[in-house]
Structure 1
Amino acid sequence: MNVDHWIGGERVPSAERFEDHSPIDGSVLAHVARGGQDEAALAVRAAAGAFPAWARTSRDERARLLHAISDGVERRTEELAMVETTDNGALLRSHLRGVMPRVAHNFRFFADWLLGLGRDDFDTRGHANHVSWDPAGVAVLVTPWNAPLMLATWKIAPALAAGNTVVLKPAEWSPLTASLLADITAEAGLPDGVFNVVQGYGAEVGPPLTGHPEVRRISFTGSVATARTIAASAAPNLTPLSLELGGKSPLLVFADSDLDLAADLAVEQYDNAGQVCLAAVRLLVEESVAADFLERFLARASALRQGDPRDLDTDLGPQIHPRQFGKIDGFVRRAVAEGASPVLGGGPNRDLGGLYYQPTLLTGAKPGSEILTEEVFGPVLTLQTFADEEEAVAMANSTDYGLAATLVTGSPARARRVSARLVAGTVWVNCFFVRDLRAPFGGARRSGVGREGGDWSFDFYCDVKNTVSAPWAR
């Protein structure tokens, strides 16, 4: 496959390239174009040049093209799934059954939402108010490695639907499906320059993109540290930002809950080898049922199969990169040194070697310790107990993050009461990861800035205008 940049409707090479390795076995998958300031400037120029015509394109035509891109994704689902599994180590069965269908749905949803976008005019002392959503311009989208294509298209689809042109900077640890998407957009008939892909290391190509004066929107999903760099780069131009950042989400289990359901939801937090920003990694369990819950949890977690993610029977694959693997192990080692005890896992999977880290559960961590407050982004959960509802809420809100929370209870009244007090952008009650693109998505505190989804996406990717008209003389 071609892994040069995609700029202005054509492949653009770079003098330098970087190796992309598979986390499954360390093999070299591709030598990818390594962009920098020149490629960033070229891509923004192409996007800016294509913007006037794309902004004037009718809603119906934009929607038609987004549906054509979705058709292309569906035709190549198996290829996209295998490429992404090989590139980032996530489960092939997840890519086939959920992730790639969601990629296609992202385009279809925002195409259809565009056609219904609007609000009724309203009156102010006889004056008519008309709200409209005007395309903003060039949107730079910087996307993560843990769900590369799904999280990229969650941004690309509304940005294109809104009438913006796009420059995508995919993560250097998982760059391949972005190149395939460029081919799909071209086959769908998207005009040259409307969608562009610049590959490369974030430190080299990121600042020239996010600091470019012609960029009108920046959307980023990733770490808090990188978000601060992007915000500083965007500040001189006052470029609006949407930031979906890390999490340290709680899963609260009350004594009146279905403990089998609670254990199932807790084990689900190992999905994608724990590399999920929304994961409820802090298990907070009422004291009276903690032993019963733990027994059920360990029975389920111990049965998880870890191995090659291309095997459809595998439950946990590898970590994405040696650097991430080392970071995870460092968190666990420091936690154990500070008094935490692993009751499950606790280190690398010696039988598999490579980047495979055992699903881990730690107990006995000290309140306020690093393992309870900082994002690990790996298959590492902690278990703490609480005495009552008041303590449960205080523990849940005891980090600087606020992306999501999961609550398990048999009481609707408690669910309403506790949900209202949790600091989180999304609260799941007796379920996990039920996502509807009509709903707002984002985080509180260090977990992000802004909301996307449904109208919220168009509010961000557009310049929302109100036109007020005096009564016309008859």
Structure 2
Amino acid sequence: MNSFSQVNTFTNERFTNFALEENKLAMKRAIDKQKSEFGHEYPLYIGEEKVFTEARITSINPGNVDEVIGHVSKADQTLAERAMTAALQSFDSWKKFPARERAEYVLKAAALLRERKHEFSALMILESGKNYVEADVDTAEAIDFMEFYARESIRLSEVDEAKPLVKIAGEDNHISYIPLGVGIVIPPWNFPLAICVGMTIAAILAGNTVLLKPASATPVIAHKFVSLMEEVGLPAGVINFIPGNGAEIGDYLTTHPKTRFISFTGSKETGLRINKLAAETASGQRWIKRVVAEMGGKDGIVVDETADLDAASLAIVASAFGFQGQKCSAGSRAIIVESVYDQVAAKVVALTEQLQVGLPEHNYSAGPVIDKHSYDKIMSFMEIGKKEGKLLTGGEKAEGNGFYIQPTVFGDLSSKARLMQEEIFGPVLALAKAKDWQEAIAIYNDTEFGLTGSYFSTNEERIAEALETVHCGNLYINRKCTGALVGVHPFGGFNMSGTDSKAGGYDYLLLFTQAKLTSRKMY
């Protein structure tokens, strides 16, 4: 079986077992290596040029704010325009590369990333505040995206065999999926490698070239990925690396007449702004711009009185507080049938209080939030929660030279409370009672978002109803609502959670292509 036809099957071997001392020591060595590179300066990539600028983004360690990860050059509109020109020039040749050749670059990069897994994970631990497991999973997901999308791009190039058209006499008909053009890729900071890699790789495997504008909080790990792609020989200008201010270069490129698509993951507010700007037709523009957006959620777990309450409580805490609740899939709400509410609330509080907050490089179960802006926003929600509901545990800052907040649980909240409706993106869990399982589902659905959700029950009739009526893009039964696997759980949501792009699924690459039907009369 060759590398292209290999079936994706996932086992626990994808993840590192940090219960083994040898693996912990390997990660500590990788962290020390990354620390030895603190303070370096990193350039833009514009075509064949590496450009250093006076304006820079300084990346700091959110777990120890005295540590500077690095200084990353910052693009302005003039440099963004140069990058657009480089991407347009590269597109003319890159789009002609056979799909298998494009995939070879990506598979080679995936193999190197697997060899250097701890190196990339260690940088994420330091730059984004992930603990060992969260960083390891992030890197594993990046590898999965590379391998899954590479093979999927081959399948799409052979679509006549995979999904043949209906035959008619006298005609030879074929459908092909051709690239769109130059796209803007805007990934988030919370999965600074996996989502950055997935969004970028999908676009270029489809034959497009991209301008990658990484999150300002995590630009060094994005630079490390771009450097990896350069190392495997990816032609210059296929990925152009242009960190910068969203209001300056983000808006400029979104409204640019040569921009063919914008691939975005981030907040609802920014996603809606991008969608609005992209909808305006610029002078000289010859297409409707395509927007692929994943914008967050107010995800929840519903627990009825028939559920395994221990399993439900474990899932609630894992979903709410993994990576400090800084996941768009984080289960920041739990809606519990009132007859078991007190039991579940007590179990959740006890589990939450077992979480230890500390420096990520020392592998604490809970670390810092990403930056001062997030810290201030989350702390303001703490005060709102104390007025709206009952503080069950946490509610204060935590010790440490960084942006540390206690894992916090509020109970007895109204379904209309702000903590039940607004995305906080931090270690804050809201609990609400429902009179029965049907009202619990109704409360779950009472939000403008619709990304992930879980339903805990042992009643098959109720589960069948939940599968049909719980309105979200990714619904899980009797498990946590985080932890989507590439190729297993295609990821994306409804309503204000975005365009339901289903990243890591078989439809995702189609979003970066256009279908062309060719029909030839046969004599």
TM range (shorter): over 0.9
Decide whether the 8 Å contact of 1:36 with 1:204 is kept in 2: yes
Matched, 1:343 2:392: yes
1:435-457 CA deviation, whole Å, 9 max, x = no partner? 24335422111110241333321
CA distance in 2, matches of 1:125, 1:67: 38
CA distance in 2, matches of 1:177, 1:353: 22
Q: Match of 2:10?
A: none
Q: Match of 2:36?
A: none
TM-score, normalised to structure 2's length?
Answer: 0.86
CA distance in 1, matches of 2:194, 2:431: 30
Q: Match of 2:111?
A: 71
CA distance in 2, matches of 1:145, 1:182: 16
Q: Match of 1:397?
A: 445
Q: How does 1:230-269 map to 2 (within 5 A)?
A: 230-237=274-281, 238-269=288-319
Matched, 1:219 2:263: yes
Residue 130 of structure 1 is aligned with which of 160, 174, 183?
A: 174
Q: Match of 2:215?
A: 171
Q: Greater shift after overlay, 108-117 or 25-34?
A: 25-34
Matched, 1:294 2:345: yes
Q: Match of 2:83?
A: 43
CA distance in 2, matches of 1:205, 1:72: 32
Q: Match of 1:121?
A: 164
Aligned residues: 468
Q: Match of 2:325?
A: 274
TM-score, normalised to structure 1's length?
Answer: 0.95
CA distance in 2, matches of 1:364, 1:194: 52
Q: Match of 1:358?
A: 406
Matched, 1:311 2:362: yes
Decide whether the 8 Å contact of 1:404 with 1:426 is kept in 2: yes
Aligned-residue Cα RMSD (Å) equals 1.7
CA distance in 1, matches of 2:307, 2:172: 52
Residue 160 of structure 1 is aligned with which of 200, 204, 213?
A: 204
Please state how far the C-alpha of 1:92 moved relative to its aligned partner. Answer: 2.8
CA distance in 2, matches of 1:280, 1:47: 39
Please state how far the C-alpha of 1:354 moved relative to its aligned partner. Answer: 3.3
1:273-307 CA deviation, whole Å, 9 max, x = no partner? 11011111110111111122122222221111110
CA distance in 2, matches of 1:138, 1:452: 21
CA distance in 2, matches of 1:393, 1:129: 48
AA of the residue aligned to 1:346? G
Q: For residues 364 and 296 of structure 1, do their structure 2 counterparts lie closer, same or farther at Cα, with a shift above 3 Å needed?
A: closer
Residue 6 of structure 1 is aligned with which of 45, 53, 62?
A: 45
Please state how far the C-alpha of 1:261 moved relative to its aligned partner. Answer: 0.9
Q: Which runs of 5+ in 1 are unaligned?
A: none
Please state how far the C-alpha of 1:129 moved relative to its aligned partner. Answer: 4.4
CA distance in 2, matches of 1:409, 1:9: 57
CA distance in 2, matches of 1:195, 1:225: 26
Residue 58 of structure 2 is aligned with which of 8, 11, 19?
A: 19
1:171-192 CA deviation, whole Å, 9 max, x = no partner? 1011111111111111101001
Q: Which runs of 5+ in 2 are unaligned?
A: 1-39, 282-287
SS at match of 1:108: helix
AA of the residue aligned to 2:121? A
Decide whether the 8 Å contact of 2:392 with 2:409 is kept in 1: yes
AA of the residue aligned to 1:159? A
1:34-79 CA deviation, whole Å, 9 max, x = no partner? 2110121111111111112111111111111101111222232222
CA distance in 2, matches of 1:363, 1:204: 42
Matched, 1:100 2:151: no
Please state how far the C-alpha of 1:372 moved relative to its aligned partner. Answer: 1.1
Q: Match of 2:415?
A: 367
Q: For residues 149 and 72 of structure 1, do their structure 2 counterparts lie closer, same or farther at Cα, with a shift above 3 Å needed?
A: same
